[in-house]
Chains A and B, each alone.
Chain A
Amino acid sequence: MTQMGQVKTSVERKSKSWFDEHAPQIRELKFTLYLLRQSPIVVAGFILVALFIGMAIFAPWIAPHGPEERFWNLPQQPPSWRFPFGTDTTGGDIYSRIIWGSRLDLTIALTVVASAILIGSVLGAISGFMGRAFDEALMRVTDVFLAFPALILAMAVAAALGRNLTNLTIALMVVWWPTYARLVRGQVLAEKERLYVDAARAVGASPARIIFRHVLPNSIFPVIVQATLDLGGVILTAAGLSFIGFGAGAGVAEWGLMIADGRSYLFQSPWIACFPGLAILLSSLGLNLIGDGLRDVLDPRLRR
Chain B
Amino acid sequence: MPEPILQIRNLKTYFYTYAGVVRALEGIDLDIYQGETLGLVGETGCGKSVTSLSIMRLVADPPGRIVDGQIIYKGEDLLKKSEAQMQQIRGNKITMVFQDPMTFLNPVITIGDQVSEVIAIHENLARDVVRSKIDECEETIKQLDSNSPDRERLMNRVKELEALKDNPPKYSRREMKKATLRRTIEVLKLVQMPSPEKVVKQYPHELSGGMRQRAIIAMALSCSPDLLIADEPTTSLDVTIQAQILALLSELKKKIGSSILIITHDMGIVAEICDRVSVMYAGNIIETAETKALFKNPLHPYTQGLLKAIPKLHRDVEELEIIPGSVPNLIYPPSGCRFHPRCPFRMDICDKENPPFIERERGHSVACYLYQEKK
Give the residue of A202, A209, A218 whose beta carbon is less than 8 angstroms from that of B108: A218
Interchain CB contact under 8 A, B143 and A203: no
Sample of 6 A–B contacts (CB below 8 Å): A10-B136, A199-B96, A199-B216, A202-B58, A204-B122, A205-B91
Interchain CB contact under 8 A, B88 and A204: yes
CA distance A303 to B23 in the complex (A): 45
Interface residues of A in 189-224 (CB under 8 A from B): 194-196, 198-206, 209, 213-214, 217-218
Give the residue of A7, A10, A198 whose beta carbon is less than 8 angstroms from that of B58: A198
> Which one of B3-11, B99-107, B248-256, B317-325 contacts A?
B99-107
Q: Given the complex, which residues of B lie within 8 Å of A218, measured CB to CB?
A: 106-108
Give the residue of B86, B92, B98 whose beta carbon is less than 8 angstroms from that of A199: B98
Closest CB-CB distance, A98 to chain B, in whole Å? Answer: 40
- If A6-B143, A10-B140, A218-B108 touch, whether A204 touches B89 (CB-CB below 8 Å) is yes
Q: Is B166 an interface residue (CB 8 A)?
A: no
Q: Given the complex, which residues of A lie within 8 Å of B109, measured CB to CB?
A: 213-214, 217
Q: How large is the interface on A (under 10, 10 to 19, 20 to 34, 35 or more residues)?
A: 20 to 34
Task: Report whether over half of chain A's contact residues are helix, strand or loop; otherwise say mixed.
Answer: helix
Q: Is A3 an interface residue (CB 8 A)?
A: yes
Q: Is A24 an interface residue (CB 8 A)?
A: yes
Closest CB-CB distance, A200 to chain B, in whole Å? Answer: 7
Q: Closest residue of chain A to B90, judged by CB?
A: A204
Q: Is B264 an interface residue (CB 8 A)?
A: no
- If A201-B90, A202-B90 touch, whether A196 touches B106 (CB-CB below 8 Å) is yes
Interface residues of B (CB under 8 A from A): 56, 58, 84, 86-92, 95-96, 98, 100, 103-110, 117-118, 121-122, 136, 139-140, 143-144, 201-203, 216, 219-220
Q: Closest residue of chain A to B139, judged by CB?
A: A10
Q: Closest residue of chain B to A16, judged by CB?
A: B178
Interchain CB contact under 8 A, A7 and B140: yes
Interchain CB contact under 8 A, B140 and A199: no
Q: Given the complex, which residues of B lie within 8 Å of A196, measured CB to CB?
A: 103-107
Interchain CB contact under 8 A, A24 and B201: yes
- If A10-B140, A202-B96, A203-B95 touch, whether A217 touches B103 (CB-CB below 8 Å) is no
Interface residues of A (CB under 8 A from B): 3, 6-7, 10, 23-24, 28, 194-196, 198-206, 209, 213-214, 217-218
Interchain CB contact under 8 A, A204 and B58: no
Which 5 pairs show the lowest CB-CB distances between chains A and B?
A: A203-B91, A204-B91, A204-B90, A196-B106, A195-B103
Closest CB-CB distance, B206 to chain A, in whole Å? Answer: 9
CA distance A196 to B203 in the complex (A): 14
CA distance A24 to B219 in the complex (A): 20
Q: Closest residue of chain A to B102, judged by CB?
A: A195
Interchain CB contact under 8 A, A203 and B90: yes
CA distance A23 to B144 in the complex (A): 34
Q: Given the complex, which residues of B lie within 8 Å of A203, measured CB to CB?
A: 90-91, 95, 117-118, 121, 219-220
Closest CB-CB distance, A21 to chain B, in whole Å? Answer: 8
CA distance A3 to B150 in the complex (A): 14
Interchain CB contact under 8 A, A204 and B87: yes
CA distance A28 to B201 in the complex (A): 11
Give the residue of A10, A28, A200, A206 whose beta carbon is less than 8 angstroms from that of B106: A200
- If A24-B202, A195-B104 touch, whether A213 touches B98 (CB-CB below 8 Å) is no
Of the listed residues B104, B106, B108, the one surrounded by the most CB atoms of chain A closer than 10 A to its CB is: B106
Closest CB-CB distance, A148 to chain B, in whole Å? Answer: 35
Q: Closest residue of chain B to A132, judged by CB?
A: B62
Q: Given the complex, which residues of A lie within 8 Å of B90, measured CB to CB?
A: 201-204
Interchain CB contact under 8 A, B92 and A204: yes
